[in-house]
Amino acid sequence: MHTNIQQLLEFATKVAQKAGEHTLIYFKKDVEVISKKDDSPVTIADRETELLMRKMISEAFPEHGILGEEYGVHQPDAPVQWILDPIDGTVGFIHGIPLYTNLIGITIHGKPEIGVINAPYMKEMVAAVIGHGAYLNQSKTTVRNIESLSQASMMTSDVQYFNQFGQKNAFEELLTKVKTHRTYGDAYGHLMVACGRADIMLDPVLNIWDAAALLPVIKEAGGSFTDLNGMERIDGGHGFSCHPVLKDELLSVFATNS
């Protein structure tokens, strides 16, 4: 099957834009919060937005597969798979924090090829195709130059996860090694790495719909995205973004504290 990668990227950014516009209808409103089976929260905004994304994709590319956080798998054997997170950072969204994002990752024959991170309230969208660079609002973006952890700014989401997933010692050691640390979490933290505003974003727990957009974006911004074992993958269950010069030092901290 011939796939026009540029056509896919352009349509993915259109879907992300429409998704973002829909979430803004509900942002800072009193929306009902429902607990899913894993106790994570979901709102009508999450569910309506994913349905909108799925409808747009299915109408434009009926032969493609879709995997979304809220509504599961459609055509899992299709060579092209759209992997969707309608609202990454639902907890922040519920509390009126504007750093939530809409995520789209596209794999072709199992390989991550396209990533889009859209922060609708912030009016920032980073999009990337493997081999063609990463772009913030259509201007090329890269990670910033850095030489060591001692110069690095580190981001993460919920620090409690490091304890829950056996990474408490590694996280505490990293706090002593980096220059600064903040909790600008979820995919927006990875966007900050891609745009040169931060140097490390750590996620001790990641689902595939969280990670699928991140790998192409970070890689094409000149960075490194791997799981905590150093494997470049979107289904490892955890991951981090950083400047490549920091990768081995970070992996060493996790390896020695595992």
Task: Among 94, 116, 140, give the residue marking a domain's end.
Answer: 140
Residue 39 has pLDDT above 70, yes or no: no
For residues 91 and 192, membership in a common domain is answered with no
Residue 88 has pLDDT above 70, yes or no: yes
Distances (CA, A) of 79 to 65, 107, 195, 231: 8, 8, 31, 23
Task: Among 109, 140, 171, give the residue marking a domain's end.
Answer: 140
Section 112-123 average pLDDT: 98
For residues 162 and 112, membership in a common domain is answered with no
For residues 172 and 131, membership in a common domain is answered with no
Section 191-200 average pLDDT: 97
Indicate which CATH number applies to the domain containing 123: 3.30.540.10
Domain residues for the domain of 83 are: 5-140
Residues 235-239: contacts with CB under 8 Å, at least 24 apart: 235/208, 235/211, 236/206, 236/211, 237/205, 237/206, 237/207, 238/165, 238/203, 238/204, 238/205, 238/206, 239/203, 239/206, 239/211, 239/214
- Using a 10 angstrom Cβ sphere, with 0-12 exposed, 13-18 middle and 19 or more buried, the burial of residue 47 is middle
Distances (CA, A) of 217 to 47, 61, 104, 168: 25, 23, 11, 28
For residues 219 and 107, membership in a common domain is answered with no
Residue 136 has pLDDT above 90, yes or no: yes
Residue 161 has what pLDDT?
A: 80
Residue 193 has what pLDDT?
A: 98
Q: Where does the pLDDT of residue 3 fall: very low under 50, low under 70, confident under 90, or very high at 90 and above? A: low
For residues 107 and 204, membership in a common domain is answered with no
Structural domain total, the chain: 2
